[in-house]
Amino acid sequence: MKSDAQRKLGKTLLVLGRLALAVIFLFAAYAKMKPQAGMNWSVASVKTSLAMFAMGVDSYQLLSTAGVEFVSHWLPPFELFLGLWLLTGIALRYSALVTALLLGGFFAVQFHVYLQGKEISCGCFGPGERLGPLSLLRDASFILVAIAIAIGAFVVHRKRATPALSGPPAYPTASPDRVG
Amino acid sequence: MIRPVRVLQEMMPRGNWQRRAAAFAGATCLAAILAAGSALHANTKNTQTHAKTATPPSAPVKTYGSKNAQIRMEIFSDFQCPTCGNFYESTLRPLINDYVASGKVYIVHHDFPLQMHAYSGQAARWATAAAEVGQFESVEAALYDNQAAWTASGDLEKYVSTAMPAADFKRIQKIMEGCEGPGPVAKGGGGIVPAPHACSVDAYILQDLALGNQLPVTGTPTYVIYNKGQRLPAASGMVSWPILKNFFDSLLAQ
């Protein structure tokens, strides 16, 4: 049976990892949508930033024009939503799973393009960051954190759902022999 | 009470949770700062312009359109680079015929021949010599249209000669006297490999290479877009015309 200290450490790491992932996704969304040089925040400036992000997506040369436009318009708001979802901690096992799948998809695409020798921007945190070993290593570490959080969240949920596995109950239960 | 605070309270002994909550918050902030730091570094490095990417006043004209256009696009490219060829044929051509012709965009070409391409330095020399006699556009088109052919044969002169009147080609040949052998090229890590036998047009190519290394250009094509004089982050790789057009439209609407 795990000690209280070990359980608390696990819960602490779960919270820290969840918050770190939330901040990463919120920052990623912000970096893609923030106004470019000389512009103030407005609907028009966000459209321009998303159009610039579309150029980065297009440089991967993996999607059609319609596909590029879809990804560039919906990915940043989805990252914003995912960051907020992680921040709240609601249904963590599902938010962490979605996070891990999304990051895994990003990594697979970037690794594929990197192997092709293309010198392009990663586009992960806005324009300007080159796709290379450092960005791949960083994204791989994010995936590991997301997977760890997802596993931890499922384990915690399982323990809550089956109290016998997590030790004696905190409150006395009625004996089956007791009548009335 | 919000969920994260309740979780923190449940997991810690009473009386200590405030101190430990502060430690947890600090650790979380540190993780977030480290994660964002690498991205900020990339963004900051790119937006703090080291290079003023403008055509040096003494260089031959390798531009398209009106200097008064709202948008200026400076392109660093290698004539032997297949992606640059694709970029020119699929994106630059419609851009020049549409947005440059209507005065919306001004294009500045910078040569950035890469060491990995055997004839790119020489191609840059021919293009620069052509620019000196006002034939840059036709030579650029000829070089990209026949990229596969001269990449295989190394015979650039054949395709340059067919791109212009004979009189202009003779002038270019005169400029290119003494320009045998490979031209100056960029090598990985921001270095420049000068030509074994320097000639008159090399100075302009070296200027472009130095400008590119300040960005830095790590691959071609790399382009920097200015909107109303404000520099946007440099980007590299292929971009299709509909996507680029959409971006320009959003800038023009500002």
Reported as a single tens digit per residue, the pLDDT across B213-248 is 999 998 999 999 999 999 999 999 999 999 999 999
Is B247 at the interface with chain A, CB within 8 A?
yes
Distance from CA of A54 to the nearest CA of B (A): 7
**A141 occurs within a structural domain:** yes
**A94 occurs within a structural domain:** yes
Cβ-defined contact of A90 to B3 (cutoff 8 Å) = yes
Could you tell me which of B194, B240, B253, B228 has the C-alpha nearest to residue B71?
B228
Among chain B residues, CA nearest to A9: B11
**Chain A residues within an 8 Å CB radius of B36:** 23-24, 27, 125
Q: What is the pLDDT of residue B27?
A: 53
Reported as a single tens digit per residue, the pLDDT across A56-114 is 999 999 999 999 999 999 999 999 999 999 999 999 999 999 999 999 999 999 999 99
Distance from CA of A179 to the nearest CA of B (A): 35
Is B21 at the interface with chain A, CB within 8 A?
no
Cβ-defined contact of B251 to A37 (cutoff 8 Å) = no
Cα dihedral sign, A117-A108-B246-A39: negative
pLDDT of residue A169 exceeding 70 = no
Residue A42 domain boundaries: 17-159
**A52 occurs within a structural domain:** yes
Q: Give B1's DSSP letter.
A: -
Q: Give A109's DSSP letter.
A: H
Is B42 at the interface with chain A, CB within 8 A?
yes
Q: What is the pLDDT of residue B7?
A: 56
Number of structural domains in chain A = 1
Is B68 at the interface with chain A, CB within 8 A?
no
Spatial neighbors of B108 by CB under 8 A, at least 6 apart, are: B53, B54, B55, B62, B63, B72, B73, B74, B75
CB burial readout A45-80, b (16+ within 10 A) else e: bbbbbbbbbbbbbbbbbeeeeeebbebbeebbeebb
Distance from CA of A165 to the nearest CA of B (A): 18
Cβ-defined contact of B24 to A127 (cutoff 8 Å) = no
> What is the average per-residue pLDDT within A161-167?
62
Cα–Cα distance between A124 and A103 in angstroms, integer? 10
The count of C-alpha atoms lying within 13 angstroms of the C-alpha of B21, restricted to the half-sphere facing its C-beta, is 15
pLDDT of residue A10 exceeding 80 = yes
**A65 occurs within a structural domain:** yes
Q: What is the pLDDT of residue B48?
A: 40
**A2 occurs within a structural domain:** no
Q: What is the pLDDT of residue A38?
A: 80
Q: What is the pLDDT of residue B4?
A: 55
**A165 occurs within a structural domain:** no
DSSP 3-state assignment of B104?
coil
**A76 occurs within a structural domain:** yes
Percent of chain B with pLDDT over 90: 72
Q: What is the pLDDT of residue B132?
A: 95
**A154 occurs within a structural domain:** yes
End-to-end alpha carbon distance in chain A? 34
Q: What is the pLDDT of residue B32?
A: 54
Tell me whether residue B97 is exposed, middle or buried, using C-beta atoms within 10 angstroms of its C-beta: 0 to 12, 13 to 18, 19 or more.
Answer: exposed
Cα–Cα distance between B164 and A45 in angstroms, integer? 44
Cα–Cα distance between A90 and A113 in angstroms, integer? 35
Among chain B residues, CA nearest to A47: B250
Reported as a single tens digit per residue, the pLDDT across A34-70 is 998 888 999 999 999 999 999 999 999 999 999 999 9
Q: What is the pLDDT of residue B11?
A: 52
- Taking 70 as the pLDDT cut, the residues of chain B under it are 1-58
Reported as a single tens digit per residue, the pLDDT across A136-157 is 999 999 999 999 999 999 988 8
